[in-house]
Amino acid sequence: MTHLAAAIQMTSGSDKAANLEKAEHLIRLAAARGAKLVALPEVFNWRGKRAEEAAAAERLDGATLTLMAGIARELEIHLLPGSITEHVPGETRRYNTSVLIGPQGDRLGVYRKIHLFDVDLPGRVTVKESDVKMPGAEVVTAATKIGTVGLSVCYDVRFPELYRRLAFAGARILTIPSAFTFPTGEAHWDVLIRARAIENQCYVIAPAQVGANVHGFSDYGNSMMVDPWGRVIARASDQEGVVIAPIDMEYLERVRRELPSLAHARLR
């Protein structure tokens, strides 16, 4: 059976209300075009200075996901609100959390980003995501009528062992909400997204942030959907917007039958 899915591309800033208004508009646009699974980028609801992050963080039952659940229920869609910065009571650090919401507004899967990006290049750049974020530990899939979804976030895409575990757990669709910077995006985004689709014979939905951001550099955009053969079936322009493509499970099963590489895997 075939269903339409959508990847939404955004430029999110520090005005949470404006981000949510924009996200809702784009979700409704995707649903009006027939999408039954809609995915937003990483940290879609708020991107701001690190000093302001604690105040912007929310619990899973906070305003952002409550709004998203209501929209999913109204539109009767599966909705992946990219990721949010999740407040954890009693902790000084937070999670980068991706939640899949079902058509009844219920949480079908909650994934906390496992791989955190830390780099120190003297005289160039220092980024320590682990200073403010905690790593998750659980590999998460969620069964839906469209297909089983395997959840991940951005930097996870560089760790193929996560996606192989998702595939062996039954995933047919992999979601990778992201905020890739321009230099690494230009060099690696396409090949990593396509590789995760090819090696796991899954559809990949990779919605991304685009354009100049509040941190003073540019995000690569190029939100993509890729089929199990590795073909790019949808790609966003360099603007905010929506791209839509079909998810065809009969095609996926045919790819797996005709090239049964998952069945031949010796290491698990």
2-258 has which CATH code?
3.60.110.10
Question: What percent of the chain has pLDDT above 70?
Answer: 98
pLDDT digits (tens, 9 = 90+) for 109-137: 999 999 998 877 676 656 788 899 999 99
Cα separation, 119 vs 104, whole angstroms: 41
**pLDDT on residue 206:** 99
CA distances from 196 to 99, 102, 158, 241, 243 (A): 20, 25, 9, 24, 20
Task: Residue 149: name the closest of 157, 158, 161, 139 by CA.
Answer: 139
Query: Which is the catalytic residue, given 22, 42, 58, 133?
Result: 42
One-letter amino acid of 152:
S
Query: Which is the catalytic residue, given 22, 36, 53, 154?
Result: 154
Q: Residue-wise over 190-212: b if at least 16 C-beta within 10 A, else e?
A: bebbbbbbbbbbbbbbbbbbbee
Cα separation, 258 vs 225, whole angstroms: 22
Q: Would you state the structure tokens that stand for residue 219, as one six-digit string?
A: 């995000």
202 is catalytic: no
**Neighbour-count burial of 5, counting CB atoms closer than 10 A to its CB (0-12 exposed, 13-18 middle, 19+ buried):** buried
Global pTM value = 0.97
One-letter amino acid of 267:
L
113 is catalytic: yes
**Neighbour-count burial of 49, counting CB atoms closer than 10 A to its CB (0-12 exposed, 13-18 middle, 19+ buried):** exposed
Rg (CA), the chain: 17
pLDDT digits (tens, 9 = 90+) for 54-66: 999 999 999 999 9
Query: Which is the catalytic residue, given 36, 53, 58, 113?
Result: 113
186 is catalytic: no
